[in-house]
Each structure stands twice: as structure tokens, then as C-alpha cells.
Structure 1
Amino acid sequence: MRVISRLMSALMMLAGAIDAAHAVDPRYPDWPCVQAKVPEISLSAVWTGPPLDEASGKWKDNAKISALVARLAPRRTPMDEAEKLVADFLKQAGADKTATGTLIFAGLFDTLNAERGSVLKGLERVTRKQRAAAERIRADTLALQALQGATPPDAGKIEQLGNQLVWQTRIFDDRRRVVSFVCEVPVAIDRRLFALARVIQQEME
């Protein structure tokens, strides 16, 4: 009975964490983060330079800019290194500095927005898995209670299902902790894009 009590307590706590997250914004029932869900980065919030109409998509046609964007976008590239890469690249652009800077930002905006969208979808996909896992744990916990109340109790089945529940609950909790960490990623992407946009615009002046 002690095993069941621990499992039920853990389940209530974990399920409660999901329900609390869902209450943050009813428009996004699968959104698991305390941070508000912003589906896309607002261009006007990060860029005050030339319009991206002509630059959007065209940056891919420039091999050097595509290679630069591929180095700037990943968070594993330190910001000080990324800022220096931008500055050095635009210094070499000469009279084309404005057009080049706009292409660089267009590449970053497209790339980071796509990455961010993928993270958002992944978080909501995990939430749906967590909801299904919680239901399985509830059902298995009730089944374990029934097995323990049977006469005579089947010790083998009780042990097997008990071990299964412990494992399921551990996976549920581990996944919850990972989600908490990943919830910070969209914010980090926003900050990176804003910081790089500021450097690009400063170098374009």
C-alpha cells in the first residue's frame, strides 16, 4: 500500500503541473511553459532597418552570407564571436554594407524563426505525450490497487505492475524537467536575434 500511496502522490503532483501550465493561456491548451506563447517573432520588435521584402529568401543565393548565417544562428557560437563575425563581414562589404546587412538579418530572421517554431511544436508534442502518460499511470495505479485488494493477491503481477509504474512515473518526471529547461529556448532565440539585429544595424550606420 505504501508503494501505491507514493505513486498516487507523485501522479497528483505531476498531473497538477500539467494542469497549471494549461491554465496560463486557454488559446494554447498544449503549451506547457509558464512563459507566454508567442507563435512568431515580431519583425518590428527586432528590426528597424530596411524592409526585408527583397532580401527574404535571396540571402540563400549568396554562398558567403549563407555560410555566415549558419555560423551566427547556433547558440553554441558565443555572442562576442558572433558580433565580431558580423562586424568583420560588413566592414569588407564597402558600399554594399546596407544591402549586405539586410541580407544577413533576413537570413537570421528566417533561420531563427524556423528553429523557434520547431521548438514550440516540440514542446506541445511533449505535452500531449505527458497527458497520455498521466492517463496510463492513473489506469495502472487503479489496476495495481485492484490487484492488491484481490484474494488471494498475485504477488508476481503486483511486483511487475509496481515496477512498471515506478518506471513510468520516473520517465514522466524526467520529461517534465526537460520541458522546464526547453521552455527557456524560445526566449534565448528571441534575445539572440535582437542582439544580432542591433549589431548589424550599428555596423550599417
Structure 2
Amino acid sequence: MKYRTAIAAFLAMTAMSGYGHAADPRYPDWPCVQAKVPEISLAAVWAGPPLDDVSGKWKDNPNVSTLVARLAARRTPLEDAQKAITEYLHGTADKTASGKLLFAGLFESLNAQRTQVMNGLERVTRKQREAADKIRADTLALQALQGETPPDQAKVDELGNQLVWQTRIFEDRRNVIKFVCEVPTAIDQRLFALGRTIQQEIE
């Protein structure tokens, strides 16, 4: 009975998760209900002066690169990050130039962070698809064992316990995916908020 319960739960999960049926055929491994946007658009998060002349230069400034790493870290509360931006820009000789350099670093760093998260999500989705196929195959094998006369109870128990464990791992991963799917949007929102703080300081 416990094996049937685990299998039924697995079948319900795979039906709801839609593995193998991507919402957007361009991104077959994308597991989130949120649409996949591969990169943040600069225009969507920055209305300040053009950044063409500072692109890539932020890494050459130790103060800026250190601050960018701190601001980009999600463990740094947004309020603290905004305060750090204000304090930093108030101490610079050219707030506009410094602000542009700072945002260029944030844009590059958070875009890279976001890409890493999305690649991880797609990697886990591929593992889930493989796991789903394995569980389905083992389910058929278990049903065949149970249908034998007489059934080999030791083999039934071994495969049944394996299925319960596989299903539990599958469910845990599914829950993690749902949580991580929120991260790219959170990064977008963080970058927009930090960009707005910089713009307010340099206007």
C-alpha cells in the first residue's frame, strides 16, 4: 500500500509539474511559470545617463568593485545597500561619473548572477526529467513483480522502498525549484531599486 501511495503521489506531481511540456518551446528546460527572460534589459532598469563610456571600467576601481560585490549580494538587505550607495556617492568628487561606474558594475554583476541561477534551474529540470523517467520505469517493473505468481516479496520490497526514496527526492527538488523560480524576479527588482537610488543621487 505504501508503494502505491508513493507512486500515486509521484504521478500527481508529474502531471502538475508538466515535465516534458515546456510553456515556451524556445526554452524546453525552463521549469518556472514565470516567463524566461534571458537577460535584464538595461532600459528596463536604468533611465540615467548612457553607460557606454564606463562599460567594463568598474572592475579597475577597487572601491567600486568592492562596493558592487557587497550591493549585489542578496544577503545584504536592500535598505542597507541603498544607504551604502548614498554614503559612497556623497563622498565622491564626481557623483555622476561614480554613479555610472557603480551601476555599470551592478548591472553586469546581477545579470551574471541571474544567468547563473537560471542555468541552475534548467540543469535541475533536466535531472528531474531523468528522475521521472526512471521512476516510471521502476513503477512498471514493480507492477510486473507484484503480478508474478507467487510474487518475490523481497524484490517487491526492495524496489518499492527504492521508489519511495526516489519519489521523495523528486518532490524535494520540485519544492526547491518553485522557490528558486522567484529569484530571477527578485534580482530584477533589486537592480531596479538600486539603479533608482543611484539616479536620484546623481540627478
TM-score by length of structure 2 reads: 0.96
Asked whether the 8 Å contact 2:32–2:181 carries over to 1, the reply is: yes
Per the alignment, residue 129 of structure 1 pairs with 127
Matches within 5 A, 1:162-173: 162-173=160-171
Matches within 5 A, 1:57-96: 57-94=56-93, 96=94
In the aligned structure 1, how far is the partner of 2:190 from the partner of 2:20? 26
For residue 117 of structure 2, the aligned residue among 97, 116, 119 is: 119
Per the alignment, residue 10 of structure 1 pairs with 9
For residue 200 of structure 2, the aligned residue among 192, 199, 202 is: 202
In the aligned structure 1, how far is the partner of 2:152 from the partner of 2:77? 58
Q: CA deviation at 1:149?
A: 1.1
What RMSD in Å do the two structures reach over aligned CA positions? Answer: 1.4
Q: Which moved more, 1:60-69 or 1:142-151?
A: 142-151
- How many equivalent pairs are there? 203
Q: CA deviation at 1:189?
A: 0.2
Q: CA deviation at 1:54?
A: 2.1
What SS is found at the alignment partner of 2:52?
Answer: coil
What SS is found at the alignment partner of 1:128?
Answer: helix
TM-score by length of structure 1 reads: 0.95
Q: Which moved more, 1:158-167 or 1:12-21?
A: 12-21
Asked whether the 8 Å contact 1:33–1:183 carries over to 2, the reply is: yes
Q: Which moved more, 1:183-192 or 1:74-83?
A: 74-83
Matches within 5 A, 1:142-161: 142-161=140-159
Q: Which moved more, 1:145-154 or 1:84-93?
A: 145-154
Q: CA deviation at 1:4?
A: 4.2
Asked whether the 8 Å contact 1:46–1:197 carries over to 2, the reply is: yes
Per the alignment, residue 49 of structure 2 pairs with 50
In the aligned structure 1, how far is the partner of 2:79 from the partner of 2:7? 49
Q: CA deviation at 1:50?
A: 1.9
Q: CA deviation at 1:66?
A: 0.4
**1:28-85 superposed Cα distances (whole Å, 9 cap, x missing partner):** 1111111111110010011111222221211000000001001100111111111110
Q: CA deviation at 1:152?
A: 2.2
Asked whether the 8 Å contact 1:11–1:138 carries over to 2, the reply is: no
In the aligned structure 2, how far is the partner of 1:138 from the partner of 1:20? 13
In the aligned structure 2, how far is the partner of 1:177 from the partner of 1:22? 18
Where do 5+ consecutive residues of structure 2 fail to align? none
What SS is found at the alignment partner of 1:93?
Answer: coil
In the aligned structure 2, how far is the partner of 1:196 from the partner of 1:112? 11
For residue 108 of structure 1, the aligned residue among 93, 102, 106 is: 106
Runs of 4+ in 1 over 2 A off after TM superposition: 2-5, 20-24
Asked whether the 8 Å contact 1:4–1:141 carries over to 2, the reply is: no
Q: Which moved more, 1:144-153 or 1:177-186?
A: 144-153
In the aligned structure 2, how far is the partner of 1:200 from the partner of 1:56? 16
- The share of aligned pairs that are identical, in percent, is 66
In the aligned structure 2, how far is the partner of 1:27 from the partner of 1:47? 27
